[in-house]
Amino acid sequence: MGQNVVSKVVAPRPERDPAKVHELTLEQVRTLLEAASGGRLYALWLVLISMGLRKGEALALRWSDLDMKTGTINVRRTLIRVKGQGLSFGTTKTDDSRRSCFMPVPVQVALQSHWVDQEAERLRAGSVWEDHGLVFPTSTGRPIEPSNLNRQFDTLLRHAGLGHDRVHNLRHTAATLLRAYGGVDLHDLKEILGHSTIATTSDLYGHVVPVVQRELMNNVASLLVPPADGQAVN
């Protein structure tokens, strides 16, 4: 039986464009969340920043996917736009993207408050409300158009005094924070993000901890031997 020689060809991986793919700093994240505080989508921004869900995964979440007793979210679907059909709920990007994610306590608190606010919205909407069981719907219960979420994110960024950015970079931000400040290793980060291979995770975030380690070691060394005037610590 003949072999498919094409199957042995390793396709080149696209390089990351730093102009598009980057992460927010810890200070920027705090500024962003402060600006979002009190808004109807505060819990969504917190989920994206702290848990690293993809935009479509977060917009497809149903309340039945949340287990407050175990503090987990089951990621099973994604919201996509199908040409000629409109918005549709599809399967996750890969089999590995189907995962259970731990909800940090601040996320649980925010979601509980969000549920109360949503119930009030449901009552105000009355017969107009479309019940899809979504965690993050519009004010009438319908799925949020991803492009509309992009515009709302731009508005939030302007309100926070931050420059233009992409919602997807909140996922990179979450991964970087978990890796750099949470001490999450690459294997666990792969599971949290739902990557199909550890190589993907390593390519994207393998560099994070060494950079932070260098900064911390420089800071400690500077305490022991302060740099001379005008001398920068790299």
What integer best gives the mean pLDDT of the chain?
A: 85
- Which is more confident, 117 or 222? 117
The active-site residue out of 54, 55, 76, 114 is 54
For the segment 52-98, what is each residue's pLDDT rounded down to a tens digit? 999 999 999 999 999 999 999 999 999 988 888 889 998 877 777 88
pLDDT at 228 over 80: no
- Which is more confident, 136 or 81? 136
Say what percent of the chain tops pLDDT 90: 56
pLDDT at 17 over 60: no
- Domain boundaries in the chain? 18-224
Q: Judge whether 93 counts as a catalytic residue.
A: yes
Say whether domain 18-224 belongs to CATH 3.30.200.20. no
SS3 79: strand
The active-site residue out of 42, 99, 114, 205 is 205
Kind and range of the H or E run holding 51: helix 42-51
The active-site residue out of 76, 77, 99, 171 is 171
The active-site residue out of 55, 77, 179, 195 is 195
The active-site residue out of 22, 40, 62, 93 is 93
Q: Judge whether 54 counts as a catalytic residue.
A: yes
Long-range contacts of the stretch 207-211 (C-beta < 8 A, 24+) = 208/176, 208/179, 208/180, 209/179, 209/180, 211/180
